[in-house]
Amino acid sequence: MSIFDQLNNNTAVSSDPVKPVEGEFTFVFDRLPESADEMKSLPEASLDTPYKTAALTLCALCAYAAVPDIGRDMLNFLKGPQPLSPYEISFLNDRFRDGKHIPFSYFEGAVPENNYTPDKPFTVKIFSNPYSFQNEGWATLHLRSGGADSPRQIKLRLKPSEGKWYLSEQMVMVGIRPAKQDDAWA
């Protein structure tokens, strides 16, 4: 049984990875992958759409919250020919000092009032906007956090010789409202 239940989408998927389809894509899965090998065995690990890579990036960040070495392995897979830099690793370590709940806040049902506990099965929606594909070979996709008022972004880059979309940078590990258990004013 696949870790990811299915990829449900509201628009058609392009068979040409160079011309991705705009829209909102919903990824639903029973549990999060717990190793790079588990992630690589998922059908979404084909990385043939930027949406799949973005969804797996969120999974990798959740793994990083639990076991940084495993999360790094997953992120390095998603970054393709350019692994995490020392700066990116330092940034992630710094972000996780503020709380391991940040990546979980992007799953449906995770809000400050329930200490960012996502609904099960885990569901994440990733969407594009009219500016997401304005530069050929690049995509900037968006995710909503239950702890933020504005969407956050994940930037991806196409490697045309492979037809795969790789993680370029993520802007999801930024400040969100504190979990109720951590909010002195709640």
Residue 76 counted as domain residue: yes
Task: Report helix, strand and coil shares of the chain as percent, to nearest 5.
Answer: 30, 20, 45
Residue 57, in any domain of the structure: yes
Confirm whether 185 is domain-assigned.
no
Counting Cβ atoms within 10 Å, is residue 37 exposed (0-12), middle (13-18) or buried (19+)?
exposed
183 within some domain: no
Give pLDDT tens digits for 16-30. Answer: 555 567 899 999 888
Residues of the domain holding 29:
4-178
Q: What is the pLDDT of residues 36-88, one digit of tens each?
A: 999 999 989 999 999 999 999 999 999 999 999 999 999 999 999 999 999 99
Q: How much is the pLDDT for 18?
A: 53
Does residue 50 lie in a domain region? Answer: yes
Rg of the Cα trace of the chain?
16
Domain count for the chain, please give it: 1
| Average pLDDT value for residue range 81-108 | 93
pLDDT value, residue 178:
85
Lowest mean pLDDT among 13-17, 107-111, 151-155, 160-164: 13-17
What element of type H or E holds 124?
Answer: strand 122-127
Listed in sequence order, the residues at least 6 apart from 171 whose beta carbon sits closer than 8 Å to its beta carbon are: 152, 153, 154, 155
Q: For the chain, where are the alpha helices, taking DSSP H only?
A: 36-40, 50-66, 68-79, 86-97
Name every residue whose Cβ is closer than 8 Å to that of residue 42 and which is 6 or more positions away in sequence. Answer: 2, 3, 4, 33, 56
- In a domain? residue 184: no
Evaluate whether residue 130 is within a structural domain. Answer: yes
CB atoms within 10 A of CB 73: 21
Q: What is the DSSP letter of 21?
A: P
Q: What pLDDT is attached to residue 6?
A: 31
Q: Kindly state whether residue 116 falls inside one of the protein's structural domains.
A: yes
